[in-house]
Structure 1
Amino acid sequence: MIGAFHFVGGEVPRHRLDFAVERGPLHLRGVYRCVRDGGIGFATVPQRAGRFDMPTDRPHVVILGDDLHQALGPAAFHRKSVRRFAARCRTAAIVACEAIPVLYTGPALAAMGMRWDGLIVETLPRWEASWADLIREANPSITLLIGTVKPEGGVQ
């Protein structure tokens, strides 16, 4: 099902992707470059979007946006869809910190260069472990990058 979330692919005019690569949010420019130059698909799935299923005609990078007004964790997403897509992926990133470009570009480069699907979860630190558990449960061999905040004093 495409339509409950934003899908960027071959139907986006090149000049719009050029604009996104040059002037889009810094942390997403590498992803947009991989979409434009590497022929990968890209989707953002917001909280409570319901079921989603990415086509298998080319590699895709999916961002699960669990950081809107509040982070709700995996329960805010269609669990079977998340598990199904994570099982297809070879790389994933959990961004529970500021938007560090390499956490976004890593899965996109793997999608472009190795033709593997990639998953990116934007969330808050309190949900980091829950997301990691769900992703590893769906795909124990996945390469998982985790961007977290530095603990401040004492045991956290």
Structure 2
Amino acid sequence: MTVLLPETVSISNSADKTREFIKKNPAVRSQYLFPLFDAVATFAVSLALVPQGCETFELPRNPWIVYIGDDMHFAWGPQAFGAAALDAAILAADNCVLITSGPDPFPYRYAATMAVKPRKNVLLIESLPHQQEAWRQRIEKVRGKKELPIFCCIPLAVARQSGWEARQSGWQFSGRGVGMIVAA
């Protein structure tokens, strides 16, 4: 299926601009995205925001968080992004956080921590539950035998619907390096 989306561009933030933004907007400290901004402002992590329809984007300097926004109005999955740039990010990532649960703060903290403490590159994908498997398959296809640890955050209702316990044990012990958290 071909997806026609308006062409968009990625956004990268410098540490200075991010510190200024936090200072001018103190309420951002209570938002779920704050750990990402804090990683940029305080710990010299690069952040690239990549919305749907973004055909090309440059990987920022290491360590980075590339935030793939696949949940603007509808989730189109990997096909909503330029294949070459997306595949380069998948190949360069050391960790992946796949969020299909909405704005639960924990997975964003996890992504920021992985970029800050061990100084790893993190691919953060925000999507909807019906695209989770498409994202996982794209990562496996691109990475081949070079596994990418994937931390999934899914809504509790979806987990119950899909028999989460059975799927979790299949993912945990299949050697695919997939961990899960279920958000209420």
The normalised TM-score by structure 2 is 0.73
Which residue is equivalent to 1:94? 98
| CA deviation profile, 1:65-88 (whole Å, cap 9, x unmatched) | 110111111100011211111211
Of residues 99, 107, 110, the one that matches 2:111 is 107
What amino acid sits opposite 1:143 in the alignment? P
Which residue is equivalent to 2:39? 34
| 1:74 correspondence with 2:78 | yes
Shift in Å, 1:55: 3.0
| CA gap 1:18/1:138 in 2 versus in 1, 3 angstroms | farther
Shift in Å, 1:141: 2.4
Which residue is equivalent to 2:52? 47
Residue ranges of structure 1 left out of the alignment (5+ in a row): none
| CA deviation profile, 1:83-124 (whole Å, cap 9, x unmatched) | 111211111111111212121121221112212111111111
Q: Report if the CA contact (8 A) 1:9-1:40 is conserved.
A: no
Shift in Å, 1:45: 0.6
Of residues 124, 137, 149, the one that matches 2:141 is 137
- Count of aligned pairs: 152
| CA deviation profile, 1:101-156 (whole Å, cap 9, x unmatched) | 12112122111221211111111111001111212333342221111123355769
Q: Report if the CA contact (8 A) 1:90-1:141 is conserved.
A: no
| Moved segments of 4+, more than 6 Å | none
Residue ranges of structure 2 left out of the alignment (5+ in a row): 1-7, 165-184
- Which moved further from structure 2: 140-149 or 34-43? 140-149
Q: How many angstroms apart in 2 are the aligned matches of 1:154 and 1:54?
A: 35
Q: How many angstroms apart in 2 are the aligned matches of 1:110 and 1:154?
A: 29
Of residues 142, 148, 153, the one that matches 2:154 is 148
SS in 2 for 1:148: strand
Q: How many angstroms apart in 2 are the aligned matches of 1:39 and 1:154?
A: 39
| CA deviation profile, 1:4-29 (whole Å, cap 9, x unmatched) | 22211234162323455x42262111
Identity %: 20
What do you get for the CA RMSD once the two structures are aligned?
2.2
Q: How many angstroms apart in 2 are the aligned matches of 1:92 and 1:104?
A: 11
Q: Report if the CA contact (8 A) 1:87-1:138 is conserved.
A: yes
Q: Report if the CA contact (8 A) 2:18-2:41 is conserved.
A: no
